[in-house]
Amino acid sequence: MVKTASIQLWIGEESKAERIERVESLLDQVKGANLVILPEVWNIGYFSFDLYSKESETVNGETAQRMSQKAKEHGFYLHMGSFIEHQEGKLFNTSLLFDPNGKVIAKYQKIHLFGYGSLESKILSRGAEVVVVETDIGKIGMCTCYDLRFPELFRSMLDRGAEIFLVASGWPYPRLEHWLMFNRVRAIENSAYLLSSNCVGKNRGTQFCGHSMVVDPWGVISASGGDEECILWGEIEIEKVSTVRREFPAVRDRVL
């Protein structure tokens, strides 16, 4: 049994340094978990577009290094959420997955960039690589927020063997119902686990909707957050993925 922890983080007006320290404190509280996930662009706030360039980092930057240290210190897999990465003159919305030794084992650059009421698609470059990594707790696929609206990405991860989807997000109101539906549907249609971490609080006047969750391969929500900061604990029984796919073979019966 894999013990999971999704940190549903409050985003307010604190500084980047203060937020990193607070996240480190929250990571200390999930010692004993096997797999931990943080939200999207939590270190500066997703809607802080004016800070994207100034506060961008490399994959060896301060935020990544400090998250790596926490993964190593507590011996868990850590999806560090995402941060704004600068690489070869371009900016990306980038996520890293650390193993229990603090080593980067996967890097995902957000493919679907949001443009509705957002400057993300104007400021950032989109990623091009579908990412699935094999670990000793299962095959993990990574995606970010707006990616949830695109089932083709999840099919591509499925075709690469994904059993667990990790979703880092900064999903806002008023589209809570979309968020609730997509989390479950992406798990159902791929007979896979889905673990999401969303922000709460308000950033640059936009309210995040929270409701992070753990969804099993039948689409059953086994754990869910509300509107406040919380640590959402869950469990993943990876054998359940193959059991569901065998008992209800929709994945096997795909034609297209």
- d(CA 23, CA 111) in angstroms, rounded, equals 26
Among candidate residues 107, 110, 120, 139, the one labeled active-site is: 110
- d(CA 155, CA 157) in angstroms, rounded, equals 5
Among candidate residues 40, 120, 163, 229, the one labeled active-site is: 40
Planar angle of CA 185, 46, 96, nearest 5 degrees? 70
Q: In sequence order, what are the beta bridge partners of 98?
A: 78, 104
Q: How many CA atoms lie within 13 A of 87 on its CB side?
A: 15
* Closest C-alpha to 13, from 161, 181, 201: 201
Determine what percent of the chain falls in helix, strand and coil, rounding each to the nearest 5: 30, 35, 40
**Residues in CB range of 226: below 8 A, 6 or more apart:** 210, 211
Known catalytic membership, residue 40: yes
With 0-12 / 13-18 / 19 or more C-beta atoms within 10 angstroms meaning exposed / middle / buried, residue 115 is exposed
Among candidate residues 143, 145, 199, 230, the one labeled active-site is: 145
Known catalytic membership, residue 145: yes
How many Cβ atoms from other residues are within 10 Å of residue 129's Cβ?
A: 8
Going from the C-alpha of 40 to that of each of 66, 127, 180, 247, the distances in angstroms are 16, 15, 17, 35
- The catalytic residue positions are 40, 110, 145
